[in-house]
Amino acid sequence: MEPAYFIYAFAGGLLAMILRLPPLAGFLAAGFLLNYSGYELTPTLNAIANLGVTLLLFTIGLKLNIRTLLQSEVWGVASLHITLSSLLFVLIIGLLKFGGIVLMQSTDWTAILILAFALSFSSTVFAVKLLEERSETQSFYGRVAIGILIMQDIFAVVFLSATTGSLPSVWALGLFLLIPAAPFLRKILDRLGHGEMQVLFGFVLALVLGYKLFEMVGLKGDLGALIMGILLAPHKTSASLARSLFNIKELFLVGFFLSIGLTALPSWEHVALALFLLVLLPLKTVLFVLMFPRFKLRVRTSVLTSMTLTNYSEFGLIVAALAMTQGWLSSDWLVILSLSVAMSFVVAAILNNYNERLYQLSRGRLDEVPAADLHPHDKPIELNGAQAVILGMGKIGRGTYQRLQDKYNLNVLGIDNDQNKVERLSEHYQIVEGDAVDSDFWDKLLVSDQVQLVVLAMPHHAGNVYALEQLRGRDFKGRVAAIVEYPDEVERLKALGADEVFEVYEGAGLSLADRAMQEVY
């Protein structure tokens, strides 16, 4: 592969970081610049992009609780939204037929219906990437967003089967045997440790038993990777496997974002129509925001979930390509959709940087669901007289909890945004589900003067920074301690007023030395 692909991608990602945008916005821009510079989408880059998407869906499955899909706020909103948004887009795009645009005059109503359906989907790749960057894939709003995206993937499989005129092979029924085979696969995972064999096994599951096997029986390969991840999700090392694949997946996804820009070279008419489709994007957001409160979600959850889903999907390109082979859509629309998808990613990246501010602007303008009627995961947090609060109940958080409770006799409350972790630890810890980057969360949390200490033990540095800003902005009088992974993060937290900041690995070394010398002295 040409060195230019790496140079453009790095330069684009670096520029995006300087502008305080997610690097993926820079990768998208790099793809278009490569295109204008005469480079093309190569088979190698396309293979890397497909690998990135497949591994992403596999790792989503590893973290997914299947019960999420059975929640009414997931399947209900997904079904209603895709229906209403498709109808709305048909009406609006249909009006262009009478606007004198040459390309629209040659586009029939079948093509318009397909375009509207394609635009109703949101991007799984983009949305999950945003959630991962904020460590919020397991937050309540993150789980709802991912659930809706997976429901859309299921709708995609139905659409692809129906429009190609070919149903899955009868051998697809044999895939149900993967369910009783799952315990055997988990036992294999038990014996592999945490090295290269674990990573290699993940590739075998995602690409062979997942993607290739499903593709062979006429189903969408990416769906197979997702299902394989779901089957392994209950295993105790599933989180470790997801972490092992994280950097590989991230690198391959750079290829995906580059490939969007390299898909086709647009004309000015294409750009104008792509901009028009981009103007329709807020309609998707509005529909989501209006629907979620009907399912007992509070305004913040509704707004943040809607913002995460405010983009067009790469699935739109698949729909366009399929419709083009069937003769329902001209090749021009593939170019236009490629451009609008890329533009929507850039716009969504910027908007999601300010999602909390956008929520604050919407407060008072949207009717809040009464607290008594809220979804169980959206109800206010009860402090129960806590004197110390631990934000982030990973290994460090749990160790801190135990120390404060056993040595200092404090009434400690643990808070984590991972529902599965909360359920698993609730037997031994006083722990509740909560999202520390939720501004409402802080209003609910600091209602008691009994809280003497807050420990910021979340894995994501940006989350700890936000939490500290909220604490100091609300004039919290107690002490604040925080952890960091890298030395250059210490000064930022101290400047914001943290009383104590500990480097994770330095703290681990001190603890190891103390324990090692216990028997000596």
pLDDT at 165: 54
Where in the sequence of the chain do the CATH 1.20.1530.20 domains occur?
3-362
Q: 87 burial class (0-12, 13-18, 19+ CB within 10 angstroms)?
A: middle
Q: Exposed e or buried b for every residue in 1-14, given b needs 16+ CB within 10 A?
A: eeeebeebbeebbe
Tell whether domain 3-362 is in CATH 1.10.3720.10: no
pLDDT at 202: 87
SS3 at position 482: strand
Instruction: Tell me how many helices (H) and strands (E) the chain has.
Output: 25, 6
Dist CA 491 CA 485 (whole Å): 13
Where in the sequence of the chain do the CATH 3.40.50.720 domains occur?
380-517
CA distances from 334 to 27, 274, 282, 285 (A): 20, 11, 22, 24
pLDDT at 421: 84
Instruction: State both tokens at 31.
Output: 């793809």
The DSSP-derived string for 419-432 is: HHHHHHHTTTS-EE
Name every residue whose Cβ is closer than 8 Å to that of residue 474 and which is 6 or more positions away in sequence.
442, 443, 446
End-to-end CA distance of the chain: 60
Dist CA 51 CA 45 (whole Å): 10
Dist CA 238 CA 216 (whole Å): 26
SS3 at position 229: helix
The DSSP-derived string for 278-315 is: HHTHHHHHHHHHHHGGGGT--HHHHHHHHHHT-S--TH
Name every residue whose Cβ is closer than 8 Å to that of residue 371 and which is 6 or more positions away in sequence.
379, 380
The series of mean pLDDT values per 10 residues for the chain, 521 residues long, is 86 85 78 86 86 82 77 91 92 76 68 87 83 76 88 74 66 85 85 80 88 84 84 79 80 83 75 87 92 89 91 75 72 79 84 81 80 77 79 88 89 85 87 74 62 85 82 78 84 86 69 54 48
pLDDT at 291: 93
Name every residue whose Cβ is closer than 8 Å to that of residue 63 and which is 6 or more positions away in sequence.
137, 138, 229, 233, 238, 239, 242
**Residue 375: phi, psi to the nearest 5?**
-55, 140
Answering whether pTM is above 0.75, one says no
Can you name the CATH fold of 380-517? Rossmann fold (3.40.50)
Name every residue whose Cβ is closer than 8 Å to that of residue 436 and which is 6 or more positions away in sequence.
391, 392, 415, 417, 456, 458, 463, 466, 467
Q: Which of 476, 485, 477 is nearest to 458 (CA)?
A: 485
CA distances from 201 to 56, 192, 205, 233 (A): 15, 8, 6, 14
Q: Are 203 and 157 in contact (CB under 8 A)?
A: no
